[in-house]
Amino acid sequence: MTPFQIVIPARFASSRLPEKALADVAGKPLVVRVWEQAQRAAAESVWVATDHPRIAEAVQRAGGAVVMTAPEHPSGTDRLAEVVTQQRWGDETIVLNWQGDEPLLPVALVHAVVERLAAHPDAAIATAAVPVTTVREWRDPNVVKVVCDRNGYANYFSRAPLPWVREADPFALDANAAPPVPVWRHIGLYAYRAGFLRRFATWGEAPLEAAEKLEQLRALWYGARIVVHFAAEAPPPGVDTAEDLARIRAFFAQSRRNEFG
């Protein structure tokens, strides 16, 4: 296994679900549940990067390591860049961004993305994608699509229904049908080289990034290469809404009943 570091960005403020990092999940804060799952990935280190002392206290109480970061970072990638600088990691160090609301992220997928980056020294980032199975998903702007070249490098990410098929308008097709061409859904899991993260933090927002609200487009705009791992199925969803939180709570509550029942 290629050595790598894990950083879990965890903001206190959340537009959709305020203070979700500290939301109780079967007796533990959500961020601690995420940290516990990340511990299973056998990284060289696991850090929670946060802007708030309450999150830091919760993680440290559980035995985790914390890096305090500035509150004004516009993205999780910018927050990772600050951690890389504080930790003085070398340029070739692989850093995995484990989202702070992903307590069920499969370790196997994490390892696959890390190894994808390690196998492509010309890439600055590795990420993942899964097949889009319905036209409804293809045309959904909340589903980010990625278009790649024949070697698996990303050409573009978009909320639009890409690739566009001139003879098969996705808005005229049966929503439950399969897309007429292979379509890939981007999964927001990233492995970076530390040197790239330091450069990323110095770049201004790219026009395409501003338009689509996708920070990975900043990397492409400035010429960085992104290699994609193609997975067979999507990982369990994270926590974005109150409904997601209820589902995660039910999962862990059932796990506890199975463990002690």
- Is the confidence at residue 15, as pLDDT, over 70? no
Neighbours of 206 (CB within 10 A): 17
Two tokens, residue 93: 């160090």
pLDDT grade, residue 110 (50/70/90)? Answer: very high
pLDDT score recorded for residue 18: 80
Cα 23 to Cα 27: distance, rounded to the nearest angstrom:
9
With respect to residue 164, please indicate whether it lies within any of the assigned structural domains.
no
Instruction: Count the domains in the chain.
Output: 1
**Phi-psi bin for 104: left (phi > 0), alpha (psi -120 to 50), beta?**
alpha
Q: What percent of the chain has pLDDT over 70?
A: 97
DSSP-derived secondary structure letter, 153: B
- Mean model confidence pLDDT for the chain: 94
The answer to whether 129 and 185 have CB atoms below 8 angstroms apart is yes
Terminal alpha carbon distance of the chain: 36
Nearest to 138 by CA among 97, 183, 180: 183
Helix (H, G, I), strand (E, B) or coil at 38: helix
- Is the confidence at residue 257, as pLDDT, over 80? no
Q: Give the domain extent around 81.
A: 2-126+186-258
119-171 pLDDT per residue, tens: 999 999 999 999 999 999 999 999 999 999 999 999 999 999 999 999 999 99
With respect to residue 179, please indicate whether it lies within any of the assigned structural domains.
no
pLDDT score recorded for residue 254: 86
With respect to residue 140, please indicate whether it lies within any of the assigned structural domains.
no
Say which residues have a Cβ less than 8 Å from residue 93's Cβ, sequence separation at least 6.
Answer: 4, 5, 84, 193, 194
Two tokens, residue 150: 């024949």
User: Which among 32-41, 71-80, 198-207 has the top mean pLDDT?
Assistant: 32-41
Element holding 228 (H helix, E strand)? strand 226-230
CATH label of the domain that carries residue 114: 3.90.550.10
The answer to whether 172 and 77 have CB atoms below 8 angstroms apart is no
pLDDT grade, residue 259 (50/70/90)? Answer: low
Helices 30-39 and 53-61 meet at what angle, rounded to 10? 50
Give the residue, 157 or 70, on which the prediction is more confident. Answer: 157
Beta strands 5-10 and 94-97, pairing class: parallel
With respect to residue 202, please indicate whether it lies within any of the assigned structural domains.
yes
pLDDT score recorded for residue 128: 98
186-198: average pLDDT: 96
With respect to residue 168, please indicate whether it lies within any of the assigned structural domains.
no
Nearest to 196 by CA among 111, 117, 99, 110: 117
Helix (H, G, I), strand (E, B) or coil at 165: coil
With respect to residue 153, please indicate whether it lies within any of the assigned structural domains.
no
With respect to residue 151, please indicate whether it lies within any of the assigned structural domains.
no
Q: Where are the alpha helices (DSSP H) in 20-75?
A: 30-39, 53-61
